[in-house]
Amino acid sequence: MTTRRRFITGAGATGAAALAAPAVHAQSTITWRLQTYAGPALAEHVIKPAIDSFNAIAGDQMQIELYFADQLVPTGELFRAMQNGTIDAVQSDDDSMASPTEVTVFGGYFPFASRYSLDVPVLFNQYGLNEIWDEEYSKVGVKHISAGAWDPCHFATKDPINSLADLQGKRVFTFPTAGRFLTQFGVVPVTLPWEDIEVAVQTGELDGIAWSGITEDYTVGWADVTNYFLTNNISGAWAGSFFANMDRWNELPDNLKELLRVCMDQSHYYRQWWYWGGEASLRVHGEKLELTTIPDEEWATVEAAAVKFWDEIAAESETKAKVVEIFKKYNADMVKAGRPYRYG
């Protein structure tokens, strides 16, 4: 029988050996590189808290290295870099990272698809968009993990916008699909690296930005180089997602997959209140941007143009038509539901 002395001696020897040997668990830590669409100031809110939480909980089992906009690869190359395994995961909208899927056009700001930020998770979780996104990305070797809402899309400009005529010729940094839609109103879409936008406005290369709501304008410094904020928006919420290389995802044990989902859901929740409160507070208390508004009867022509734009997109493929049909059904349901879901 093992005596107490022999047990303690054996335990001590084992402990000494463990101290002398390299840490085995450290060698087996799974490491991912994730790049976000956001620059450092914005990432502090839209992703860093979730990654910090994941790393704290996962510990030696897995760690995610977070990279900001264009830090490893340009935003427009994010999809390809993730697909080929150069990076392991991405936080972006489909549109900005140029994913080769039938749903790419709906990422970011699809004109008037949503009015409020809660519309986005409901569309994905209750109206069938999750299943469509999962199928489309599975075809190209990428795991679509989770979609959520960001802020609405407004113009922040150097000159005031009080009518549609004021948009004529304005060089604006915006998303690909939003830019495609806005060209009919004279807007000139400009594509630049995210970190160059502030300087481009200062030098006159840009007349304005239609990339965010007022919360981001203040957070990232754009409110310091523009003068006016248009209260009309072309979308109630940016639709973005977390994605991963399919092979890297499949290699994870189930507990880490679940932890990723939970932390990403927490990220979606954080943004819901951060943007919702920020948009209202900065309109009321912000001192850097003067608010302007295009009259409702004139803005109605933009909303009508969006319906035609939807039909143009739907005609491009069966999958796009299916997504547009979901948008139409959802918005019709919200109108029938009445207040507080839709006003007027």
Question: What's the confidence (pLDDT) of residue 27?
Answer: 60
Going by pLDDT thresholds of 50, 70 and 90, the confidence category of residue 282 is very high
Mean pLDDT over 114-122 rounds to 97
Q: What is the pLDDT of residue 194?
A: 86
Tens-place pLDDT, residues 238-258: 999 999 999 999 999 999 999
pLDDT band at residue 287 using 50, 70 and 90 as cut-offs: very high
Banded pLDDT at 217 (limits 50, 70, 90): very high
pLDDT for position 1? 36
Q: What's the pLDDT at 343?
A: 78
Lowest mean pLDDT among 3-12, 69-78, 180-189, 276-285: 3-12
pLDDT digits (tens, 9 = 90+) for 303-331: 999 999 999 999 999 999 999 999 999 99
The answer to whether residue 38 scores a pLDDT higher than 90 is yes
Instruction: Please report the pLDDT score of residue 16 as a whole number.
Output: 40
Residue 275: predicted pLDDT: 98
pLDDT of residue 344: 60
| pLDDT tens sequence across 139-148 | 999 999 999 9
| Predicted local distance difference test score (pLDDT) of residue 312 | 97
**Of 9-13, 28-32, 175-179, 220-224, which range is least confident?**
9-13
Percent of the chain with pLDDT over 70: 92
10-19, 54-63, 168-177: range with lowest mean pLDDT: 10-19
Average pLDDT for the chain: 92
Residue 195: per-residue pLDDT: 87
Mean of pLDDT values over 183-187: 97
55-88: pLDDT as tens digits: 999 999 999 999 999 999 999 999 999 999 999 9
Tokens of 134: 């999962």
Domains of the chain are 14-101+115-147+238-282 (3.40.190.170), 154-236+287-337 (3.40.190.170)
SS (H, E, C) the chain: CCCHHHHHHHHHHHHHHHHHCCCHHHHCCEEEEEEECCCHHHHHHHCHHHHHHHHHHHHHHEEEEEECCCCCCCHHHHHHHHHCCCCCEEEECCCCCCCCCCCHHHCECCCCCCCCCCHHHHHHHHCCHHHHHHHHHHCCCEEEEEEEECCCEEEEECCCCCCHHHHCCCEEEECHHHHHHHHHHCCEEECCCHHHHHHHHHHCCCCEEEEECHHHHHHCCHHHCCCEEECCCCECCCEEEEEEEHHHHHHCCHHHHHHHHHHHHHHHHHHHHHHHHHHHHHHHHCCCCEEECCCHHHHHHHHHHHHHHHHHHHCCCHHHHHHHHHHHHHHHHHHHHCCCCCCC
